[in-house]
Amino acid sequence: MKKAIWSLAALAGALAAAGGASAQACAGFGTTSGQGTIGGVLNFPPGFHQGGAEISYHTESPIGVNGAVLVSSDDDATLATFRGGAAFDLAQAGRLPAGLSLCPVVRADYSTRSGLSFWQVPLGVGLGATVPLGGPGATLTPYVIPALMWEKLSGAGSSQITETHFAVRGGAEVGFSRFYLGGTLEWVDAMGTDAVFGVRAGVKF
């Protein structure tokens, strides 16, 4: 865990130095005010196949919202996950130097399968930047979001398990005018939990 925290600190310093255009990179979406995205997601958790669609919109205000529907499957059953999230860009609110994207971020995932339901709600602070790559309309958007993750597993009857963990997610997105392609990594500091790598691609509108 200490190694992960030091890595986060190093990445945060690099992002702060990078600067770049005003965008809500801190939430993992390289969109400016009035822009949205729609795209596909593939994640690779151990023992599962997971894919779905996501959508985001950066309002004319500092607020950005996003949502997704994911389907996970193995040899026995299918798990559906419904996701919603929001962020408030402090840089756009005029409270930080231009070029630095910093925002409180909240996300809620609700998953259901065979009578079981599972909530995951990370509350964190995101840091990111959108950096021009030199080509016309080409940008790189790295970001990192450390968070506290609240989890609740409910089974048949009144059985429930509630836990809180440290979590982190991050990644990088390369944009080509209206199109984007990127990789993601999510990790929860819980026993038996591995980091999950994913890819995403889509268009901006």
String of DSSP letters for 81-126: EEEEEEEE-TTTTTSS-TT-EEEEEEEEEEEEETTEEEEEEEEEEE
Q: Which residue has the higher pLDDT, 33 or 94?
A: 33
If you count them, how many residues does the chain have?
205
Average pLDDT over the chain reads 85
pLDDT at 84 over 60: yes
Strand-pair category, 196-204 with 160-176: unpaired
Q: Domain locations in the chain?
A: 2-204
Neighbouring C-beta atoms of residue 61, cutoff 10 Å: 11
Residue 151: which of 128, 174, 123, 170 has the closest Cα?
123
pLDDT tens digits for range 193-204: 889 999 999 999
Neighbouring C-beta atoms of residue 47, cutoff 10 Å: 8
The structure tokens listed for 111 are 């998953």
pLDDT at 19 over 60: no
pLDDT at position 77, please? 78
Cα 185 from Cα 84, distance rounded (Å): 18
Helix (H, G, I), strand (E, B) or coil at 9: helix
The structure tokens listed for 103 are 């925002």
pLDDT at 3 over 80: no
pLDDT at position 23, please? 66
pLDDT tens digits for range 129-145: 888 887 777 888 999 99
Cα 186 from Cα 199, distance rounded (Å): 11
Nearest-5° Cα angle at 8, 120 to 72: 30
CATH class, range 2-204 = mainly beta
Give, as one character, the DSSP assignment of residue 27: G
Neighbouring C-beta atoms of residue 170, cutoff 10 Å: 22
pLDDT at position 74, please? 82
Cα 103 from Cα 26, distance rounded (Å): 6
Cα 108 from Cα 87, distance rounded (Å): 12
Cα 3 from Cα 53, distance rounded (Å): 32
Q: What element of type H or E holds 136?
A: none
pLDDT at 70 over 80: yes
Give, as one character, the DSSP assignment of residue 193: P
Cα 43 from Cα 29, distance rounded (Å): 17
pLDDT at position 80, please? 93
